[in-house]
């Protein structure tokens, strides 16, 4: 048996890859896939909830303009970057998408010199070394005057603990602009970590230009109801892992009851705008290793990214900017780029033009900020 590169496959390596994939799947709350218990169990201990169209929930639909910007970025830069897809393949059209503005898209140097502060999801410190993550995204956006940083937060602590770490990271940053220039982007659990930070620590608000949920677990995930922190702790044994259990509250922070109660009891500050980037993959864009959790979550709603339901990814009062045709991992975790065997066998839908997406997000936010700062 040979790979496409004509190098022989070594079975011990294959078995090791299988074990890694199984552990990673476990840590992503895919255990008990055959369980028949409800993912959202009966409970009277919940705030009153209602599911309504975004327009009725004070969510502004700005997908049309974002599509124009993302398409322009892909056309100009996409084919020189990894994992190119056409615009129509990269975004999912859901319902009636607003038309674009027809305005030109600025693809030159940033005027506001925004910095993307990417707050990662559960377990990042446990497998970031193994990922051998490259700096393609940072190098790409730096060409246009943007910067990015990934602050250190606990891999397995609660959003309350991580919110303090987000606060400390922001306060330690040197201000490089007279205007707020930090764009906080929360991936998965990184979103509730950010939301708790901006509510609990008003001293950081003057530095923040915008907050973005990217596949954000805003309303939690029903998968967390069926998971335990001890299962997540298995990530400590991942190759080259440098993580600890922290306060042991990550899974509890992701449970829908926890997140929805927090949203009900806390008002988000209006010092800056909020945006929601939602993963809404076509079923054939779900990696095989994630199919079990996708199917399990589909017992609640098939419109999920394998970890979070599409409507639980929207920040209340935010602007909806895109539905992205990518599963939960494909949006932010480029496993297949550095581990081709695992990519071909398990994470087989991991390709996505992430660098072009990040550029488009920053250009969209900058355009919005420029317009708001020019208006009286």
> What percentage of residues in the chain have a pLDDT greater than 90?
70
Does residue 37 carry a pLDDT above 80? no
pLDDT band at 343 (very low <50, low <70, confident <90, very high): confident
Q: What angle do CA 356, 189, 47 make, to 5 degrees?
A: 125
Structural element, H or E, at residue 361: helix 354-374
Rounded Cα gap, residues 140 and 135, in angstroms: 8
Give me the residues paired with residue 274 across strands.
211
pLDDT at 9: 38
Rounded Cα gap, residues 101 and 65, in angstroms: 6
Rounded Cα gap, residues 176 and 173, in angstroms: 9
Rounded Cα gap, residues 338 and 104, in angstroms: 36
> What tens digit of pLDDT does each residue of 176-216 get?
888 999 999 999 999 999 999 999 999 999 999 999 999 99
pLDDT at 29: 46
Q: Going from the N-terminus, what domains does the chain have, and what CATH number goes with each?
A: 11-34+60-374 (3.40.50.1820)
Does residue 31 carry a pLDDT above 50? no
CB-CB contact of 355 with 140 (8 Å): yes
Rounded Cα gap, residues 291 and 285, in angstroms: 10
The residue with tokens 């490259």 is: 134
CB-CB contact of 61 with 320 (8 Å): yes
> What tens digit of pLDDT does each residue of 135-184 get?
899 999 999 999 999 999 999 999 999 999 999 999 999 988 889 999 99
pLDDT at 376: 62
Angle between helix 63-77 and helix 354-374 axes, rounded to 10 deg: 130
Does residue 4 carry a pLDDT above 70? no
99 secondary structure, DSSP code: P
pTM across the whole model: 0.91
pLDDT at 365: 98
């Amino acid at each position: 048996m040979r790979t496409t590169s004509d190098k022989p496959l070594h079975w011990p390596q294959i078995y090791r890859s299988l074990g890694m994939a199984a552990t990673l799947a476990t840590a992503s709350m895919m255990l008990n896939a055959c369980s028949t218990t409800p993912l959202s169990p009966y409970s009277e201990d919940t705030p009153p909830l209602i599911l309504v169209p975004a327009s009725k929930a004070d969510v502004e639909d700005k997908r049309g303009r974002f599509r124009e910007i993302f398409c322009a970025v892909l056309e100009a830069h996409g084919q020189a970057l990894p994992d190119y897809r056409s615009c129509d393949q990269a975004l999912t059209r859901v319902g009636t998408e607003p038309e674009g503005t027809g305005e030109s898209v600025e693809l030159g140097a940033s005027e506001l010199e925004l910095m993307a502060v990417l707050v990662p999801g559960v377990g990042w410190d446990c497998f970031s070394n193994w990922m051998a993550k490259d700096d393609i995204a940072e190098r790409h956006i730096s060409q246009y005057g943007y910067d990015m940083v990934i602050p250190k937060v606990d891999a397995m602590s609660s959003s309350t603990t991580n919110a303090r770490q987000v606060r400390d990271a922001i306060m330690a940053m040197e201000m490089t602009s007279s205007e707020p220039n930090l764009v906080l982007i929360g991936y998965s659990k990184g979103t509730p970590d950010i939301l708790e930070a901006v509510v609990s620590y008003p001293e950081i608000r003057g530095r923040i230009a915008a907050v973005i949920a990217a596949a954000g677990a805003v309303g939690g995930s029903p998968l967390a109801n069926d998971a335990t922190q001890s299962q997540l702790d298995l990530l400590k044994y991942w190759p080259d892992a440098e993580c600890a259990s922290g306060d042991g509250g990550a899974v509890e922070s992701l449970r829908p009851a926890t997140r929805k109660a927090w949203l009900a009891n806390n008002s988000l500050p209006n010092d800056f705008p909020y945006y929601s980037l939602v993963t809404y993959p076509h079923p054939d864009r779900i990696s095989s290793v994630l199919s079990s959790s996708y199917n399990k979550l589909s017992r609640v709603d098939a419109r999920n990214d394998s970890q979070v339901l599409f409507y639980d990814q929207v920040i209340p009062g935010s602007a909806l900017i895109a539905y992205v045709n990518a599963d939960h991992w494909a949006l932010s975790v480029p496993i297949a780029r550095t581990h081709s065997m695992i990519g071909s066998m398990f994470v087989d839908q991991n390709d996505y033009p992430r660098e072009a997406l990040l550029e488009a997000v920053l250009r969209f936010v900058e355009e919005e900020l420029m317009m708001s700062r020019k208006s009286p």
